[in-house]
Amino acid sequence: MSRRWSVRAAAVLAAPAIALGVCASPAFAADTWVNLYKSSTKVASMQHVDDGDYFRVYDNYADGHGVRGYLYSWTGYDYTLIMTKYNGSGTGTYAQMQYDVWGTNFYAMQVCSVDGSEDTSPGPCSEMKYFSE
C-alpha cells in the first residue's frame, strides 16, 4: 500500500513539471521582410532581423539604380522617419543598420529604388510593411 501511495504522489508531483515542459516553448523571433518588384523581378528587399534588431537592405538587381531602405516609428498620429540605409551593389548582398526596436512601439519599413546615394526623390517604392515586436 505504501508503494502504491508513493507512485501516485510521484505522478501528482510530476504533472506540473510535465505540463510546463509541454506548454512552455522557447520564443522564436520572426523576421519581417518587404520586397520591391519590377514586373516579376525582385529588385530590392529589406529585412528586419529580430535577433539583434538589425535592418538589412538588399539591392537584388544590377540595373544601374541603387536602393534605399527606410525605417519609421509610430509617433501616435503618424509614422516618423528614424533612419535610412543605401545599397548600390546590385549583387544581392546587404547593407546593414541597427536600431533597438521596442515591443511596445509600432514600426514600418519600406524599400525604394534610387539614383545614387544622394537621391532624395526615391521611386518606385515597395508598400509599407508594418510590424511590432
pLDDT in the model for residue 29: 56
Average pLDDT value for residue range 28-49: 91
pLDDT 10s digits, 94-106: 999 999 999 889 9
With pLDDT > 90 as the criterion, what percentage of the chain qualifies? 59
Q: By three-state DSSP, how is residue 56 classified?
A: strand
- pLDDT bucket at 22, cuts 50 / 70 / 90: very low
Task: State the chain's mean pLDDT as an integer.
Answer: 82
- Annotate 82-102 with b (16+ C-beta within 10 A) or e (fewer): bebbbbbebeeebbeeeeebe
Is a pLDDT exceeding 50 seen at residue 132?
yes
Q: From CA 12, how far away is CA 27, in angstroms rounded?
A: 28
Average pLDDT value for residue range 57-61: 95
pTM score over 0.85: no
**15 φ, ψ to 5°?**
-55, -50
Q: Which grid cell is 17?
A: 513539471
